[in-house]
Amino acid sequence: MTSLAHALKPLDPNHALPLYQQLQRAVRDAIERRVLKPDDALPSERQLAEDLSVSRITVRRAFEGLTQEGWLVRRQGSGNFVGSRVEKNFAKLTSFSEDMQARGSRPHSVWLKRTQGTVSPEEALKLALSPGATVYRFHRLRYADDAPMAIEIATIVASCLPSLESVDTSLYQALEAQGNRPVRALQRLRALLLNAEQARLLKAHEGDAGLLVERLGYLPDGRAIELSQSFYRGDMYDFIAELNA
């Protein structure tokens, strides 16, 4: 019996849920408990069916549903693997690096561009800056391990950092080192279709579903210092929020 079969919660043929839905729930639970981690290979449909004493059709239906939801990825000729889907809590102000480290992944970035310039009219309005104020702009492709997860474009009030080169892996770490880490932010989430360049960078297809997260970050004294746009693959990110009456 495979180690996965040992780790899954038992399936109950007398349960109200069909067996394939029970299997889907058991696999999701194993991923959330990190028994299964991103890029882990799953047993073949035949092997798992034998281990669980169910039909291959049951396993196939479960895998197909999990693939459509983004929990699994099917690789031609190689089988089924755990996907790189990420849950992002919208109610908690954390950096990309912190999110990836929390799920056991290694965050790193590829620089697309970083420049110093004068604030644009839109940036001046949102950041409450005077015309001619200096800002730093950071354009990065963000990775979790070897998977591209997001294209990030951040504009930071220049007085909050010593230099462009002060940002390495984490922008928030660099800001925190200067005592200028945002403590509050307004975020807007919007659906979009990835254009050709975004799709190329994220290893997706042009026209695939994407997510745009716009963030305006504030210091404790109420000053806005961060204006960012992050473009995510729609099949790799879930945004969650806890709501209270």
Paired tokens of 71: 């929990």
Confidence of residue 170 (pLDDT cuts 50, 70, 90): confident
Contact of 129 with 92, CB cutoff 8 Å: no
Q: Residue 75: which H helix or E strand, with range?
A: strand 72-75
CB neighbour list of residue 192: distance below 8 Å, 6 or more residues apart: 209, 210, 211, 212, 231
- pTM over the 0.75 mark: no
**What domains, with CATH codes, occur in the chain?**
3-82 (1.10.10.10), 86-240 (3.40.1410.10)
Q: How confident is the model at residue 40 (pLDDT cuts 50, 70, 90)?
A: confident
Q: pLDDT at position 163, please?
A: 94
Q: In sequence order, what are the residues at sequence separation of 6 or more whose Cβ sits closer than 8 angstroms to the Cβ of residue 146?
A: none
pLDDT at 12 over 80: yes
Q: Are 59 and 14 in contact (CB under 8 A)?
A: no
Q: Which of 59-63, 86-90, 229-233 has the lowest mean pLDDT?
A: 86-90
For residue 176, the tally of other CB atoms under 10 A from its CB is: 13
Query: Which among 140, 182, 177 has a CA at the least distance from the CA of 162?
Result: 177
Q: Is it the case that residue 189 has pLDDT exceeding 70?
A: yes
Query: Who wins on pLDDT, 87 or 189?
Result: 189
When pLDDT is cut at 50, 70 and 90, the band that residue 191 belongs to is very high
Q: Are β-strands 147-157 and 224-233 bridged in parallel, bridged antiparallel, or unpaired?
A: antiparallel
Angle subtended by helix axes 56-69 and 19-32, to nearest 10: 50
Q: Tell me the HSE value of 162 on the side-chain side, using a 13 A CA sphere.
A: 9
